[in-house]
Amino acid sequence: MELSVLGQSAAEHSTGGGCSSGSCGSTDDQLSHLPDHIREKVHNHPCYSEEAHHYFARMHVAVAPACNIQCHYCNRKYDCANESRPGVVSELLTPEQAVKKVKAVAATIPQMTVLGIAGPGDPLANPERTFATFRQLSEEAPDIKLCVSTNGLSLPDCVEELAKHNIDHVTITINCVDPEVGAKIYPWIFWNNKRIRGVKAAKILIEQQQKGLEMLVAKGILVKVNSVLIPGVNDEHLKEVSKIVKAKGAFLHNVMPLIAEAEHGTFYGVMGQRSPEPEELQDLQDACAGDMNMMRHCRQCRADAVGLLGEDRGDEFTLDKIEEMDIDYAAAMVKRAAIHAAIKEELDEKAAKKARLAGLSVPSANAESGKKYRPVLMAVATSGGGLINQHFGHAREFLVYEASADGVRFIGHRKVDQYCVGNDTCGEKESALSGSIRALKGCEAVLCSKIGFEPWGDLEAAGIVPNGEHAMEPIEEAVMAVYQEMIAAGRLDEAKAALKAKA
Ligand code: CLF
Ligand code: SF4
């Protein structure tokens, strides 16, 4: 039987060119050292496993409107910015509507493995609505993993209830462990029926977050810590946060860039607080990585997001549309199990192939000078499945990988406007292309399934070499193959490159 995986056959996913490298190092090396029971919890969670996010989808239901704190990067008109991009308002659902929606999505998108509650306010500031949703889902859709994201203020009071409903994954947003820093981020909290401000408020919030983290770890629940990187406020401080949460047993640290636009009406947006550059984010993630597993593939999803990370299929599942759907959930569960098993088989094959390739030796340094070849950043257009399978002009984002003598590692993603939907006569295409070129700053190649003549020339002129030769190949193998081609062409050899440039 050939099963459809993200719109392609499972068999197709296993095809592709051979890796010429000894170490295509970014796939699930993150997980290989984990004990079986933890690996079981994360192997199909798109946020907890970088590899899984190419294959498995998540969805959020917006059942939690209220919040018990104020963050300077949040405007209550929008979703909770601790996991979301401001700028959209979610359709608020009752727990019953939410359960119906989850079943509709699970039946339609069998790759959806995780249901998260992440807003639009704080899920644990709305415990009745949040737990009513979890309770019903754990009974009626037991094959779906449950996940929640919180600011942590009410967390210690909710740990028992979370454990009772089999909620295996909890995200706490921890932006600081020092109340003086916290007072610059949180103007107030609502605590014991009173509004508390300043350093005192930040101190209570930090204590509750740390206590909640310890209690969850003691229960064997996996904890991811989100931190919003706010330049000049907590950038240096986040290294200490990373150390402390790791020491307390957090599984993963997700440092996300602050989004602060004046039009969102947030305190930071209005005050002109800047957001970090991609390089600043990467440097901080690298600095923290010595201490713990870092998440680099977060897309700051909406509180009602549906689909693979980075895509949003919410429009297919509005209340009026799901009302008309006839769902046989028992049949859907059988289909889902078969598809999940096919994906697992493919991932196992991929890991085995990688292990075989790890034994091969490749030149990592110039034979004459002995100098190690420098690392290169490459952008990739993909619509999922871990393949180079998207047209340059259709991409809404590019994944960025670093190839070096040590292998391939995932660095992050860069959002862009779609080039192909732009209107030629209004100059939209031109501006989308120059936006993409700006977004791909630092990348020396872009790998896609196809690319038009016009963007090809402009990208090349900007020093980003387009490459459509690895269409439908696995990403890391293709990136390493291009890196090896660059070495063979002398492009990573400083002396030869200088000579070529002169000529
Ligand atoms: Fe949702 Fe969050 Fe669970 Fe994932 S999202 S509640 S852990 S299922 Fe994931 Fe989205 Fe980033 Fe959140 S990419 S914003 S980290
Ligand atoms: Fe906004 Fe979320 Fe902060 Fe509450 S916790 S103020 S909803 S960002």
Distances in Å between the alpha carbon of 302 and those of 87, 121, 132, 158, 361? 9, 12, 21, 23, 44
Whether 254 and 128 share a structural domain = yes
Domain assignment of residue 342, yes or no: no
335-389 tens-digit pLDDT: 999 999 999 888 888 877 777 666 555 567 777 777 778 899 999 999 988 899 9
- Based on the fold, state whether residues 85 and 201 are members of the same structural domain: yes
Task: Please check whether residues 106 and 179 belong to one and the same domain.
Answer: yes
Residues with CB under 6 Å of ligand 2 are: 67, 69-71, 74, 80-82, 121-122, 151
**Within a domain: 341:** no
Is any atom of ligand 1 closer than 6 Å to the C-beta of 58? yes
CATH of the domain at 158: 3.20.20.70
Residue 339 within any structural domain of the chain: no
How many angstroms separate the alpha carbon of residue 301 from the centre of ligand 1? 7
Residue 288 lies in a domain: yes
- Containing domain of residue 79, as a range? 29-323
User: Considering just the CA atoms, what is the radius of gyration of the chain in Å?
Assistant: 23
Mutate to test the pocket of ligand 1, among 117, 229, 301 (most ligand atoms within 8 A of CB): 301
State how far the Cα of 450 lies from the Cα of 188, in Å rounded to an integer. Answer: 51
**Is the same domain home to 319 and 434?**
no
Is the Cβ–Cβ distance between 103 and 133 less than 8 Å?
no
Find the 343 Cα to ligand 2 centroid distance in Å. Answer: 36
Residue 318 shares a structural domain with residue 358? no
Q: Does some domain include residue 329?
A: no
Domain total of the chain: 2
- Ligand 1 closest atom vs CA 309: 13
Q: Say yes or no: 370 and 230 in one domain.
A: no
Q: Is 209 in the pocket of ligand 1 (CB under 6 A)?
A: no
- Residue appearing with tokens 């800047």: 274
Helical (H) or strand (E) element with 435: helix 428-439
Distance CA 66, CA 76 (A): 9
Mutate to test the pocket of ligand 1, among 149, 170, 221, 252 (most ligand atoms within 8 A of CB): 149
Q: How far apart are CA 164 and CA 178, in angstroms?
A: 32
Same domain, 151 and 255: yes
What is the tens place of the pLDDT at every residue in 291-329?
678 999 998 888 888 999 988 898 899 999 998 898 899
Write the pLDDT tens digit of every residue in 417-469: 877 665 665 666 777 788 888 889 899 999 999 998 888 999 999 999 999 99
What is the per-residue pLDDT for 501?
Answer: 54
Residue 334 lies in a domain: no
Task: Provide the CATH number for the domain around residue 453.
Answer: 3.30.420.130
Q: Which of 273, 303, 323 is the last residue of a domain?
A: 323
| 9 and 34 assigned to the same domain | no
Q: Is 51 in the pocket of ligand 1 (CB under 6 A)?
A: no
CA atoms within 13 A on the CB side of 247: 7
Instruction: Give the distance (Å) from ligand 2 centre to CA of residue 63.
Output: 14
Distance CA 317, CA 389 (A): 26
Q: Is the CB of 301 under 6 A from ligand 1?
A: yes
Which pTM value belongs to this model?
0.81
Let me know whether 277 and 403 are in one domain: no
Query: Are 191 and 303 in the same domain?
Result: yes
Q: How far is the CA of 148 from the centre of ligand 1 (A)?
A: 8
Query: Among residues 273, 306, 323, which one ends one of the domains?
Result: 323
- Same domain for 208 and 149, yes or no, is yes
Distance 413 CA to ligand 1 centre (A): 15
Same domain, 106 and 227: yes
Residue 345, in any domain of the structure: no
d(CA 485, CA 496): 15
Banded pLDDT at 26 (limits 50, 70, 90): very low
Domain boundary among 323, 339, 365: 323
Q: Is residue 91 part of a domain?
A: yes
User: What is the number of other CB atoms lying within 10 angstroms of the CB of residue 16?
Assistant: 21
